[in-house]
Amino acid sequence: MASPIKYIWMNGELVPPEKAVVSFLNPTLHYGPGAFEGIRCYDTDRGPAIFRLKEHTERLIGSYKVLGGRELPYTFDEIYEATKEVVRANGFKECYIRPLIYFTDSMGLTLDAYKTALGIAAWEWGNFLGAEGIEKGVRAKISSYTRHHINVSMTKAKIPGNYVNSILAKAESTRMGFEEAIMLDPQGYVAECTGENIFYVRKGMIYTPPLATVLEGITRDTLLAVAGSLGYIVVEEPVGRDQLYLADEVFVCGTAAEVIAIREIDFRIIGDGKMGPVTRALQQAYFDVVHGKHALSDGWCDYLS
Ligand code: PPE
């Protein structure tokens, strides 16, 4: 059972969840501008540690910049400290952390008329593809929805409105009985999943789509380093959907999803139809890294105390 949320950090103050409210007349709610992050805190031998908080804070500020926001009222250091403060105040050992830059004070489509605000919540959130997904892998469908065109939405930014595209794809997939949707970019190359980056393995080599059209995933970046430390070569190159069908292994990764095998795509069994050895090795090493048990943990685990 998840412990209740005691506090949410709202614009400089820790308040109980029922006080962390915004007006109905809020442009983020009506149109979707804003910037958010998804971060995890893991328990380690040295107490709770937020994984790659620096990079997540940088990406949050970067998303706001990409959107064109000009008046973020908090510095990098203030956001970084506030994120740690909200985890400490709730007493969580492991949790998911959700900072959201949102807008207030004006309706309409004029960004420069908005006032910028920031809230940071944390809650206990297990892997959202489930413990069974972590062990056995999940089934996915290539979505009938196309991922963002790079000049329609900003693919490097975690902007709330971008996620309607993910919600459309995920609803379609789950209603058809799959667990995840794989999205193709407007040219037809494999882009990413609704909330994860994607990799495949073939003949011992690992491949992943290049960054131009997808989110610069921090888990993706972590796995590039982990794969290197295990001696694997990772190639970043455009990927067609049939390259996934022919792969020995396919896996996806993200802060919320962690590392998960895709065991079937469009009714084609991938490899042996279960988590493959490369995915397993990377998943195990990833859990070691985030729990402070790996040589790579040192620079990346941000200990709360
Ligand atoms: N692509 C997308 C579209 C995406 O949303 C995420 C994170 C990633 C790739 C992986 O990025 P990273 O977490 O830095 O490795 N998705 C976040 C939100 C998921 C949600 O359900 O909400 C997350 O994993 O926190």
Q: What's the CA-to-centroid distance between 263 and ligand 1, angstroms? A: 20
Res 277: pLDDT = 98
Residue 271 half-sphere exposure toward CB, CA atoms < 13 A = 22
Q: Specify the residue with its C-alpha closest to ligand 1, atom 6.
A: 195
SS3 of 296, please? Answer: coil
Res 2: pLDDT = 83
The set of catalytic residues is 158
Atom of ligand 1 nearest to the CA of 56: 14
Strands 258-265 and 138-142: parallel
Q: Which of 197, 222, 252, 253 to mutate to test the pocket of ligand 1 (most atoms within 8 A of CB)?
A: 197
Cα(203)–Cα(37) distance, integer angstroms? 35
Q: What's the CA-to-centroid distance between 31 and ligand 1, angstroms? A: 21
SS3 of 161, please? Answer: helix
Which strand (E) or helix (H) includes residue 199?
strand 197-202
Res 130: pLDDT = 79
Q: What's the CA-to-centroid distance between 150 and ligand 1, angstroms? A: 17
Q: Angle at the Cα of 72 (from 69 to 73), degrees rounded to 5?
A: 155
**Lookup: tokens for 266:** 């469009």
Evaluate: CB of 160 within 6 angstroms of ligand 1.
no
| 0.85 exceeded by pTM | yes
Evaluate: CB of 195 within 6 angstroms of ligand 1.
yes
Evaluate: CB of 208 within 6 angstroms of ligand 1.
no
Atom of ligand 1 nearest to the CA of 96: 25
Res 138: pLDDT = 97
Q: For residues 107, 59, 196 and 304, what is the CA-based torsion angle, rounded to 10 degrees?
A: -110
214 residue type, one letter: V
Q: Specify the residue with its C-alpha closest to ligand 1, atom 4.
A: 195
Cα(181)–Cα(303) distance, integer angstroms? 34
Res 129: pLDDT = 76
Phi, psi for 115 (deg, rounded to 5): -100, 140
Q: Which of 57, 158, 215 to mutate to test the pocket of ligand 1 (most atoms within 8 A of CB)?
A: 215
- Within 10 angstroms of residue 53's Cβ, the number of other Cβ atoms is 23
Q: Specify the residue with its C-alpha closest to ligand 1, atom 2.
A: 195
pLDDT by residue, tens only, the chain of 305 residues: 688 999 999 999 999 999 999 999 999 999 999 999 999 999 999 999 999 999 999 999 999 999 999 999 999 999 999 999 999 999 999 999 999 999 999 999 999 999 999 999 999 998 877 788 888 999 999 999 999 999 999 999 999 999 999 999 999 999 999 999 999 999 999 999 999 999 999 999 999 999 999 999 999 999 999 999 999 999 999 999 999 999 999 999 999 999 999 999 999 999 999 999 999 999 999 999 999 999 999 999 999 98
Atom of ligand 1 nearest to the CA of 162: 3
Evaluate: CB of 37 within 6 angstroms of ligand 1.
no
Res 126: pLDDT = 85
